Amino acid sequence: MNFLTGLIISTGLVILRLNVLSASYQCGTRKHGFLPLLYRGWKVEEGQWPWHVAIFFKQPLETLKYQCGGSLLSEKHILTAGHCVVNRKTSAPRPKEIFELHLGQHNLSEVTDLVQIRDVSKVHVHPEYSTLRNDIAMLVMRLAVAYTDYVIPICIDQKVDRDLRNLEGDRGWITGWGVTESGNVSDVLWTASLSVVSYLSCTKNDPVLFGNLLNETVFCAGDLNGTSPGPGDSGGGMYFYDGDRWVLRGVVSFAKVDPVTKQVDTSKYAVFANVQR
């Protein structure tokens, strides 16, 4: 049993409920489509990725600081990256009171009537978490969300026998409010598709970075063409279209940052936590 399945069961959520919701809202099925291609990604329409969540840290004077993305799994469960929710010095989970979750949000600077805001009641981090492996955590919301055209959960890929090698060459989708090429966090949600690459290709791309990292808990993706997740995109999901619905297979973990420019090095592949491990 993997971390995600075990945690879902331990928190009282039947997996079947993730995939069968109602006649109106099925997991992984969205109500909105794509807009034209933009530089380094696609502009996102409201409701295009209804399972994507904005995770904020509460600051003094009732202000908020955007921290990471996440993926809605059920009325109360959100999957994100472990490094998004832990104290970097101690690796201990941050207090639940610090989190504020926004679901259905499109523009970070605007909270419309479509946005549902929730507090967190529990923070679960993978027991074998490190910043390089098992970079997964789950947030449990204090109050359940209401499903709408703009808030719908993503399906969990339950094909436990699916080898990561079968994903090689497939294109997954990421979305987020990450840092743009100008160095600022994007106010508007963006999206891009990346190709999954083999462990061998990833290791050859940067033997020092990836040589001792790669195992079944992670995978690499990218096209080395200027498109890559960056700071602020962490914790968001990597989604694949599986016939008639979208499924979650990865969580944005990290991408190499150029020490000189302080920007993501898009000549290197990005690393994703494998949610099935």
> pLDDT tens digits, residue range 61-83?
889 999 999 999 999 999 999 99
Phi/psi at 149 (5° precision) = -65, -15
Longest dimension (CA), the chain: 52
pLDDT of residue 38: 38
pLDDT band, residue 160 (cuts 50/70/90): low
H-only helix segments in the chain: 3-10, 16-19, 199-205, 207-210
pLDDT of residue 9: 54
Number of other CB atoms surrounding residue 227 within 10 Å = 17
Number of other CB atoms surrounding residue 274 within 10 Å = 23
pLDDT band, residue 162 (cuts 50/70/90): low
Give the domain ranges of the chain: 3-33+50-153, 156-274
Distances (CA, A) of 155 to 38, 117, 200, 242, 247: 27, 22, 29, 10, 5
Provide the percentage of residues in the chain whose pLDDT is more than 70.
83
Six-digit token pair at 179?
């840092």
pLDDT band, residue 161 (cuts 50/70/90): low
pTM for this model (two decimals):
0.89
User: Cα separation of 154 and 29, whole Å?
Assistant: 8
Place of tokens 């960056």: 230
Contact 176, 189 (CB under 8 A): yes
Asked whether the domain spanning 156-274 has the same topology as the one spanning 3-33+50-153, the reply is yes
pLDDT of residue 115: 98
Residues 6+ apart with CB under 8 A from 251: 71, 79, 80, 81, 135, 136, 235, 236, 237, 238, 272, 273, 275
pLDDT of residue 6: 62
pLDDT band, residue 2 (cuts 50/70/90): low
> pLDDT tens digits, residue range 192-246?
899 999 989 999 988 888 887 778 889 999 988 877 777 778 999 999 998 889 9
User: Cα separation of 31 and 51, whole Å?
Assistant: 12
pLDDT of residue 69: 96
Q: Which residue has better confidence, 257 or 238? A: 238
Q: Which amino acid is at 213?
A: L
| Rounded average pLDDT over 132-160 | 91
Q: Just give the CATH number of 3-33+50-153.
A: 2.40.10.10
CATH fold of 156-274 reads Thrombin, subunit H (2.40.10)
Question: Which element (helix H / strand E) includes 246?
Answer: strand 246-254
pLDDT of residue 132: 78
pLDDT band, residue 130 (cuts 50/70/90): confident
> pLDDT tens digits, residue range 43-57?
778 899 999 999 999
Residue 123 has pLDDT above 90, yes or no: yes
pLDDT of residue 22: 57
Residue-averaged pLDDT of the chain = 84
Buried b (16+ CB within 10 A) or exposed e, 60-79: eeeeeebbbbbbbbbbbbbb
Distance from chain centroid for Cα 245: 17
Phi/psi at 171 (5° precision) = -105, 125
**CA angle 142–17–240, rounded 5-degree value:** 100
Six-digit token pair at 143?
């109050």
pLDDT of residue 179: 67
Which residues carry out catalysis? 83, 135, 234
